[in-house]
Each structure stands twice: as C-alpha cells, then as structure tokens.
C-alpha cells in the first residue's frame, strides 16, 4: 500500500524495515532525525533515502498544544524556515533541529514531533502517562497523580521483599546488634520494647518493598480523605436540621 506524504515528492510504502547486513547502520528517520530500529514498521521510499517512523508519518498536520494554549495553532513543517537553518525545541531544549517540527512562526515556537506527543501527566507509581478519558487520583497542590488501577490494586507479594524484611537488623538497649534472621523472637521483642517507628519508603533499599510501602501510604491517605469527607458531609447535613 502506497502512501503520499506532504513532505516528500515520491510515494512511500509502509513495511517492516529490513537491513541487508547485520553490520549496516540503522536508517535515520527524516522526520525526527533518530534511528529506526530493526524490524520496526516504517514508511520507506524505494526511490531515494527517505524514511519515516510510522508515528512521524502519521503525525497530525496541526495541533493546539497545552504549552502554547491560548496563543496560536502549531503547524507541522518538514523543515525549519529560520535563517539559521535549525530550530530549538521548547520542550527538551535541544538545539540544531533540522527535521519535522510543530511550529508557530509568529512566536518562534517549535516542538519536536515526539516531544509534542508526550503525555502531560505521568503516574507517580507506574511512570506511565495519564489518560484523561479514565479516572485517576490527583493532588494538584503536590503535582501527584496516580492511575485509579494503580491506587486500588494491592501489590503482589514479592519473595525478595520478604527476605529483605527477614534480614533486617535491630539494635537492643545495651547497644548489641541482633539479627532477626537468626533470632526472630528476640528481635521482635526488642523491636516492641524500643517501639521504633516503622521504616519509611525512603529508608528501604529494596525497590519492591519500597513500592509496597508507598502503596500502603497512599491507601491510608485515601482512607483518611474518605473519612474526612464523610464527616464533613454529616456536619453540613446536621447544620440544616
């Protein structure tokens, strides 16, 4: 299937990219100027050395971006029209761009295609972009955002986390160090006597255990917020009786 892109005079074919030799360097996308990975689907020109990532080839011709909202429309241009011959991306700050960009010529405002498509918000638990079509938990004062699924799903037990807890070390009142792995009962009594506060997520080195503590902390905050909302609701209703 042939495809005609506005930036190129020849027809393009979308197909998996195949290098002739293992030692061949990967072709460069003419849109974003980055390498196209092997076996990736791309728009290929059989006449000349012009290739496009599928994402770059399907980029919209114009967008209204939040970073330039209320000002002007951004237009996809195949090359810069500045006298220097290059542009600076206002998102990542990279200079010397010569490929595609979303441009506002009135403000000298440019964005890489891949930067313009980045999510505006990222989940603080899974580091995946937030989708405004679905529910999420947000604290805008702290700029903290969590997918609803990440907030309510309990983490699965991890063997590494259990072993990390079993190997923790507690210090007795006499200054002696006791291993919880060799003497679990004695370590438990010592910990209860000292009444030390629980370890915070920042103090835990094991990533799985740290994530589990963060989720428990978030769940506690959600429960407290729900209880506060119920209390405020009952107070408002009783004031009108």
Residue 125's alpha-carbon distances to 52, 148, 173, 187, 217, in angstroms, are: 33, 11, 38, 32, 12
Q: Note the pLDDT tens digit of each residue in 2-56.
A: 788 998 999 898 888 766 555 567 888 989 888 888 778 889 888 888 989 988 9
What integer pLDDT is reported at residue 74 of this predicted model? 92
Task: Give the pLDDT band of residue 239 (cuts 50, 70, 90).
Answer: very low
Element (H, E) at 115: helix 113-116
Question: Hey, what are 51's tokens?
Answer: 């290739």
Annotated domain spans of the chain:
2-57, 62-116, 120-153, 154-227
Residue 226's alpha-carbon distances to 104, 169, 220, 222, in angstroms, are: 45, 36, 10, 6
Q: Note the pLDDT tens digit of each residue in 161-174.
A: 444 444 444 444 44
Long-range contacts of 200-206 (CB under 8 A, 24+ apart): 204/164, 205/164, 206/160, 206/161, 206/164
Model pTM greater than 0.75?
no
Is 188 a residue whose pLDDT tops 70?
no
Question: Hey, what are 115's tokens?
Answer: 């930067």
CATH number of 2-57: 3.30.60
What integer pLDDT is reported at residue 174 of this predicted model? 43
């Amino acid at each position: 299937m042939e495809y005609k892109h506005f930036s190129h005079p020849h027809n393009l074919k979308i197909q998996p990219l195949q290098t002739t030799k293992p030692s061949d360097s990967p072709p460069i996308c003419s849109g974003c100027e980055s390498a196209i990975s092997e076996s990736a689907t791309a728009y290929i020109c059989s006449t000349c050395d012009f290739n496009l990532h599928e994402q770059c080839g399907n980029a919209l011709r114009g967008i209204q971006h939040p970073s330039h909202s209320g000002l002007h429309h951004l237009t996809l241009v195949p090359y810069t029209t500045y006298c220097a011959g290059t542009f600076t991306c206002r998102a990542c700050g990279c200079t010397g761009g010569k490929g595609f960009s979303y441009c506002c010529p009135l403000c000298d405002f440019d964005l890489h295609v891949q930067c313009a498509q980045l999510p505006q918000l990222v989940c603080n638990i899974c580091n995946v972009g937030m989708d405004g079509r679905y529910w999420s938990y947000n604290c805008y004062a702290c700029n903290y955002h969590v997918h609803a699924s990440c907030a309510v799903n309990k983490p699965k037990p991890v063997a590494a986390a259990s072993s990390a807890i079993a190997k923790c070390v507690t210090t007795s009142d006499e200054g002696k160090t006791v291993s919880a792995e060799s003497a679990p009962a004695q370590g438990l009594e010592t910990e209860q006597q000292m009444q030390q506060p629980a370890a915070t997520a920042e103090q835990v080195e094991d990533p799985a255990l740290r994530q589990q503590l963060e989720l428990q902390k978030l769940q506690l905050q959600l429960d407290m917020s729900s209880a506060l909302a119920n209390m405020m609701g009952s107070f408002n209703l009783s004031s009108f009786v």
